[in-house]
Amino acid sequence: MYICSVQRILDHYTVQLDKTLFVKDPSTSEVGKEIVRQSVKLLAQEGIESFNFKKLSNAIASTETTVYRYFSNKHQLVMYLSSWYWVRLESRILFATANIRDPKEQLQKAVKELSTRIPKGHESPQMEEDLLQELVFNDSWKAFDTNLPTSCNPKSYYLAYEDLCDRLAKIIHSCDKAYKTPKALSSALIDTAHRQMFFQKHLSHISDIGKTNKSIENLLLSMVEHFIK
């Protein structure tokens, strides 16, 4: 069951993100927190292309100026949300693998977390996480936009995703020190898990993966077993 003692701990865990992902940290005020909550709902409903700060300001019963105090543009807000998701996912893997010495068992636990779909309606104190997860597997790669403003540091914008890949890569390396591309495999596992979640819901006819978390987990494990000795 998804909601367990670990999840309750995570619900009170403060996600720390790079300062380049906001103008003012939204977690420091109720207005900022409401901006985050409502942006997740609007983005999940409308997608990145149709979303704008005017709609968001109406949703929070405030002004666009208020939104701009926290985020300089739509892209920065989307990167904040996707980074929040990646940090949260890394935290779930960290908790799931804690106190496990066998790296292969750690990797199995990590794969299970990657393939877990957050139940509909699950809401943490910060936002509706199931909507955020859907936003990520619908539109996450649109957020990986190389046409960033010159004032942005691309490395810091993608730091949360890189940290998640690094954590998985270290576990993979511990399993097989001779394997040469653990980072590539870790990003492939993350991408495959999220794309298959999208296919399950929206394009089931082009995937024979099935409808359960376990079917995605088994696919990821088969990938791991193919590459890791």
Q: Report pLDDT digits (tens) over 91-118.
A: 999 999 999 999 999 999 999 999 998 8
Q: Which alpha helices (H) appear in the chain, and where do they start and end?
A: 5-11, 30-50, 53-59, 64-68, 74-97, 103-114, 129-143, 154-157, 159-175, 182-202, 213-227
On the question of pLDDT at 12 being above 70, the answer is no
Q: Which range marks the domain in which residue 88 is found? A: 78-140+150-227
Q: What is the pLDDT of residue 208?
A: 85
CA distance 209 to 197: 9
Average confidence (pLDDT) over 205-209: 83
Structure confidence by residue, pLDDT tens digits, 82-93 = 999 999 999 999
Q: What is the pLDDT of residue 145?
A: 54
Inside any domain, residue 110: yes
On the question of pLDDT at 151 being above 80, the answer is no
Inside any domain, residue 172: yes
Inside any domain, residue 1: no
Inside any domain, residue 31: no
CA distance 25 to 18: 10
At 203, which CATH number? 1.10.357
What percent of the chain is modeled with pLDDT above 70?
Answer: 85
Which whole-number Å values give the CA distances from 166 to 20, 112, 183, in the listed order?
20, 17, 7
Q: How many residues does the chain have?
A: 229
- Number of structural domains (the chain) is 1
CA distance 106 to 168: 9
Inside any domain, residue 70: no
DSSP 17-39: --GGG-SS-GGGSHHHHHHHHHH
